[in-house]
């Protein structure tokens, strides 16, 4: 079976997209090993076949799927006999809420912290695009973001994860599932660009280490900004 | 079957506790109509049999259960043939994460907004206790909280609910379940003390109205601070 995943890959082979990491972990959860195709910010024409211009894009046989949430749903529906990403209808519904929490709270706290280092890893030819597009979103320059980023705010924002992970090993219960991959994606953006950002004594950090070990250390093995 | 629920009830019959509201809605979801017993801050001796001093306390036959999450789990386990509060194991696991999100993000944004009006609804004899205990938690006086409360911060904090409710009617999917009751509890605290706090055009407000209509308008029927 032809399974391909299109990723954003920057200098030093850094796969920085939190959304791509959600998809990579979800594919591994379903026992799938995609052919990985890295593109830069200037490579959007490569994924034009998907009808939009953002990674991840999954090609699964004849089907192209973009958007990490739609990819997760595609995998759950296409491979129902493999381990579930959601654990039932209730889990699927609330995984979507967790997805939105990650997008609006976790990633926004990470944005100011990770964007300057992401810029530094961007090939020179794509830097003007990167700088302008981030300014258009936020009204801030890369240098202003570097000033404004706050590890303290990030650590406060992830209190719901901390309270949950004090009680058990994974957000989804005794074993990881899509909600874990969703939140983990954000921390992989940090790992690829600036490092772990968490206190070693934080239960969220212990969980992050468990996540790095999953699937034979799939995420741990990638070139990153963190020494461990 | 003897089913009793101990609640916090203040002046004008206001049932202000968000945790009690979680339990009331969960009981209604399971088709149970408890005898309701209201106590004030000075009535903690009444629930001493439960081995702790906080409401809600559910007495279900021979069993006493405190803590809204434990009450939900008790109901799910004791009445498995009635509509599920969680929608499977995955849903139960993530409902706990949503519970922690409500406690740490939603309720902390509501705390400064609702506490002064809760104080005003507290019988005079209990006001010194109320004032001192809130100062011990926060280092703030009631008057300082009234200054610091921000509707704007509350509305920003609930963005994950908003993004989810743009896509569907309830947090738990097409029908409400425990995650909905959990988040709704916070808004009932607001309704009992200061009013709705949401923009009429907010999808979260449309959902709150749907929640008020559930179970024959159970929540809407209660004496409150909101005209509707």
HEC profile for chain A?
Answer: CCEEEEEEECHHHCECCHHHHHHHHHHHHCCCCCEEEEECHHHHHHHHHHCCCCCCEEEECCEEEECHHHHHHHHHHHCCCCCCCCCCHHHHHHHHHHHHHHHHHHHHHHHHHHHHHHHHCCCHHHHHHHHHHHHHHHCCCHHHHHHHCCHHHHHHHCHHHHHHHCCCCECCECCCCHHHHHHHHHHHHHHHHCCCCCCCCCHHHHHHHHHHHHHHHCCCCCCCCCCC
So what's the pLDDT on residue B227? 79
pLDDT, tens only, B152-162: 999 999 999 99
Task: Determine if the pTM surpasses 0.80.
Answer: yes
Residue B177 contacts residue B87 (beta carbons within 8 Å)? yes
Do β-strands A3-8 and A57-60 pair in parallel, antiparallel, or remain unpaired? antiparallel
Judge whether residue A100 has pLDDT over 70: yes
- Contacting residues of A for B91, CB less than 8 Å apart: 87-91, 93-94
Residue A81 buriedness (CB in 10 A; 0-12 / 13-18 / 19+) = exposed
CATH number at residue B141: 1.20.1050.10
Instruction: Quote the percentage of chain B above a pLDDT of 70.
Output: 99
One domain for residues A200 and A121: yes
Judge whether residue B206 has pLDDT over 90: yes
CATH number at residue A16: 3.40.30.10
Residue A67 counted as domain residue:
yes
One domain for residues A99 and A193: yes
> Quick check: A94 contacting B, CB < 8 Å?
yes
The beta-carbon neighbor of B89 closest among A88, A160, A164 is: A88
The beta-carbon neighbor of A93 closest among B87, B96, B105 is: B87
Residue with tokens 């001796």: B45
So what's the pLDDT on residue A227? 79
Residue A153 counted as domain residue:
yes
Task: Tell me which chain A residue has its CA closest to the CA of residue B101.
Answer: A160
So what's the pLDDT on residue A1? 64
Which residues in A162-183 are b (16+ Cβ under 10 Å) and which e?
A: bbbbeeeebbbbeebbbbbbbb
One domain for residues B98 and B170: yes
Taking every pair of Cα atoms in chain A, the longest distance, rounded to a whole number of angstroms, is 49
The beta-carbon neighbor of A160 closest among B101, B159, B171 is: B101
Residue B14 counted as domain residue:
yes
- Contacting residues of A for B84, CB less than 8 Å apart: 90
* pLDDT, average across residues B200-222: 97
Residue B144 counted as domain residue:
yes
One domain for residues A142 and A211: yes
Residue B174 counted as domain residue:
yes
One domain for residues B132 and B189: yes
* Residue A156 structural domain: 89-217
CB under 8 Å to B189, separation ≥6 — which residues?
B16, B17, B18, B21, B107, B110, B114, B118
One domain for residues B146 and B68: no
Instruction: Quote the percentage of chain A above a pLDDT of 70.
Output: 99
Per the DSSP assignment, residues forming a β-bridge with B4 are B35, B59
Number of domains in chain B: 2
Of B25, B85, B82, which Cα lies nearest the Cα of B212?
A: B25
ipTM entry:
0.94
So what's the pLDDT on residue A228? 61
Confidence of residue B105 (pLDDT cuts 50, 70, 90): very high
- Contacting residues of B for A163, CB less than 8 Å apart: 100, 103-104
Residue A224 counted as domain residue:
no
Confidence of residue B228 (pLDDT cuts 50, 70, 90): low
One domain for residues B145 and B165: yes
pLDDT, tens only, A30-44: 999 999 999 999 999
One domain for residues A110 and A152: yes
CB under 8 Å to B200, separation ≥6 — which residues?
none
* Cα–Cα dist A216/A31, whole Å: 12
- Contacting residues of A for B95, CB less than 8 Å apart: 90, 94
pLDDT, tens only, A195-210: 999 999 999 999 999 9
Residue A154 counted as domain residue:
yes
Judge whether residue A67 has pLDDT over 70: yes
Which of A53, A78, A103 is at the close of a domain? Answer: A78
One domain for residues A31 and A112: no
Work out the angle at residue B137's Cα, subtended by the Cα atoms of residues A159 and B19, and round it to the nearest 5 degrees.
65
Residue A225 counted as domain residue:
no
Per the DSSP assignment, residues forming a β-bridge with B170 are B173
One domain for residues A151 and A183: yes
One domain for residues A131 and A204: yes
Which of B78, B109, B127 is at the close of a domain? Answer: B78
Confidence of residue B218 (pLDDT cuts 50, 70, 90): very high
**Closest Cα in chain A, distance from residue B31 (Å):** 20
The beta-carbon neighbor of A90 closest among B90, B97, B164 is: B90
Do β-strands B35-39 and B3-8 pair in parallel, antiparallel, or remain unpaired? parallel
CB under 8 Å to A196, separation ≥6 — which residues?
A187, A190, A205, A208, A226, A228
So what's the pLDDT on residue B33? 97
Which of A25, A43, A78 is at the close of a domain? Answer: A78
Per-chain mean pLDDT for chain B: 96
Judge whether residue B195 has pLDDT over 70: yes
pLDDT, tens only, B19-58: 999 999 999 999 999 999 999 999 999 999 999 999 999 9
One domain for residues A197 and A178: yes
> Quick check: B158 contacting A, CB < 8 Å?
no
């Amino acid at each position: 079976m032809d399974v391909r995943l299109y990723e954003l890959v920057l200098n030093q082979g850094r796969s920085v997209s939190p959304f791509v990491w959600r998809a990579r972990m979800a594919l591994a959860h379903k026992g799938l090993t995609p052919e990985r195709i890295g593109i830069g910010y200037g490579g959007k024409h490569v994924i034009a076949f998907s009808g939009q211009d953002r990674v991840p894009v999954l090609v699964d046989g004849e089907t192209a799927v973009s958007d990490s949430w739609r990819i997760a749903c595609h995998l759950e529906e296409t491979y129902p006999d493999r381990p579930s990403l959601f654990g039932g209808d209730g889990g699927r519904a609330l995984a979507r809420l967790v997805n939105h929490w990650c997008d609006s709270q976790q990633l926004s706290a990470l944005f100011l912290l990770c964007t300057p280092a992401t810029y530094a890893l961007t090939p020179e030819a794509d830097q003007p695009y990167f700088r302008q597009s981030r300014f258009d979103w936020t009204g801030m320059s890369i240098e202003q973001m570097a000033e404004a980023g706050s590890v303290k705010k990030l650590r406060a924002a992830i209190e719901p994860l901390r309270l949950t992970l004090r009680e058990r090993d994974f957000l989804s219960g005794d074993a990881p599932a899509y909600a874990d991959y969703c939140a983990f994606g954000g921390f992989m953006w940090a790992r690829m660009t600036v490092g772990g950002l968490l206190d070693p004594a934080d239960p969220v950090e212990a969980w992050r280490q468990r996540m790095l070990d999953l699937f034979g250390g799939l995420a741990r093995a990638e070139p990153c900004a963190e020494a461990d």
